[in-house]
Structure 1
Amino acid sequence: MTTRTLTPETSNTFTSTIGGYTVRGRAHSLSAWFVLSLRLMMGWAFAYSGLTKLLAAEPFSAGGYLTHVAAANGNPLAGTFAWMGSTPWFVEFANVAVLWGELFIGLGLLVGAFVRLAAFFGAFMMLMFYFGNWSIEHGVINGDFAYMLVFLAVAAFGAGRILGLDTYIENYEVGGRTLVERYPALEYVLG
């Protein structure tokens, strides 16, 4: 295993190259608190939304939303949403996926477990809400789009390692090796 010594010049720095373009940054020492705040904010929002759907007097149904919302607002995916809303098996799937997805995504973020997996599905849900709630009269960036980016930032910064259970899960030893050493693919769902 390779180790390196962190110095003030190399700690809190990050570099990424995509398509031949490299960006570099240096995080402030308070960055961890802000990343933790984003994780907890999105966790609370999603857990609360899922829980209110679960405890509502009427069973949650996505059918009306899927059928009507996209057709009324010039949505480029109006046909896809209409199909989803008029396909009984998909409506039943959405009824379960939205309610339980919001609840489990929220709980995962709140306790910091499987954060990258939760953030991926949270970002996917926000992308679907972005198109479902399509509104560009003030530009293409709205709250749903911004929340999608927050989920992606939570995943990118490994927010589950900041006062979260992912640190413990990653370092859990099985046969003398940590889980992520034994199963490297876990790095894509933990963190």
Structure 2
Amino acid sequence: MIIRFLRENVYAAGLLLLLRLYVGWKWLDAGYHKLKDGFDASGFLKNAVANPVVDRGTNELIYPTYTGFIEQFAQPNVGLFNWLIPIGETLVGLGLILGGLTAIAAFFGVFMNFMFVFAGSVSTNPWMILLGAIVAISGSNAGRFGLDYYLLPALRRLRGKRNSQQGLAA
């Protein structure tokens, strides 16, 4: 019932507009400052490996595969992450603010927030996960008052055209 309301109701779309503007601004602001001031994830990554999230009772790693990913892939490729994180944050922010590919932008925002939480950084990440998940679950209704109003029908027509051309070729 709530999901149907979020996905179909015009009043929900208005509330989602306010929500995505807030969440989008937070992402855009974070990405912009990283792009403007420079960003180096190496300290964060070193700390995530040196102080991984552990179970206080058993002292075992809670996310051993994620810690391994950081140690074996992210740290050796820190230059890639120094570029991906600020660009990703900026694109998520723009997508949410403009309402373009809104559900996809929200999904990637939630994804990035989870990665920060897995590394042991709580901060505002749980709050942003909750708000981003609401926008992502709302699907196209979250972008009803944005670019998605025009973009999604155009993409559907393009996909339909492509499918019909493939049917003729077969």
- TM value normalised by structure 1: 0.65
- TM value normalised by structure 2: 0.72
Higher strand share: 1
Instruction: Return the alpha-carbon distance in structure 2 between the equivalents of residues 124 and 162 of structure 1.
Output: 23
Q: Which residue of 1 aligns with 2:85?
A: 98
From 113, 134, 145, the counterpart of 1:163: 145
Judged with a 3 Å threshold, the aligned counterparts in structure 2 of structure 1 residues 122 and 159 are, in CA distance, closer, same or farther, namely farther
Deviations 1:49-87 (A, max 9, x none): 11011111xx31111101113532534236333334532
From 103, 106, 110, the counterpart of 2:97: 110
Deviation at 1:29, TM superposition (A): 6.4
Q: Which residue of 2 aligns with 1:32?
A: 13
Aligned with 1:163: secondary structure?
Answer: coil
Q: Which residue of 1 aligns with 2:44?
A: 65
Higher relative contact order (CA 8 A, sep 6+): 2
Deviation at 1:14, TM superposition (A): 6.2
Worse-matched range after superposition: 75-84 or 109-118: 75-84
From 118, 122, 136, the counterpart of 1:131: 118
Instruction: Return the alpha-carbon distance in structure 1 between the equivalents of residues 161 and 134 of structure 2.
Output: 26
Aligned with 1:172: secondary structure?
Answer: helix
Amino acid at match of 2:24: G
Q: Which residue of 2 aligns with 1:52?
A: 33
Identity %: 29
Instruction: Return the alpha-carbon distance in structure 2 between the equivalents of residues 32 and 43 of structure 1.
Output: 15
Amino acid at match of 1:167: Y
Judged with a 3 Å threshold, the aligned counterparts in structure 2 of structure 1 residues 44 and 180 are, in CA distance, closer, same or farther, namely farther
Higher helix share: 2
Q: Which residue of 1 aligns with 2:58?
A: none
Gaps of 5+ in 1: 1-12, 16-24, 136-141, 185-191
Deviation at 1:134, TM superposition (A): 4.8
Q: What's the RMSD between the two structures over aligned residues? A: 2.9
Instruction: Return the alpha-carbon distance in structure 2 between the equivalents of residues 94 and 159 of structure 1.
Output: 32
Deviation at 1:162, TM superposition (A): 2.4
Aligned with 1:60: secondary structure?
Answer: coil
Amino acid at match of 1:67: K
Gaps of 5+ in 2: 55-61, 164-170
Could you tell me whether the CA contact under 8 Å between 1:62 and 1:95 is conserved in 2? yes
From 45, 60, 63, the counterpart of 1:77: 63
Could you tell me whether the CA contact under 8 Å between 2:92 and 2:108 is conserved in 1? yes
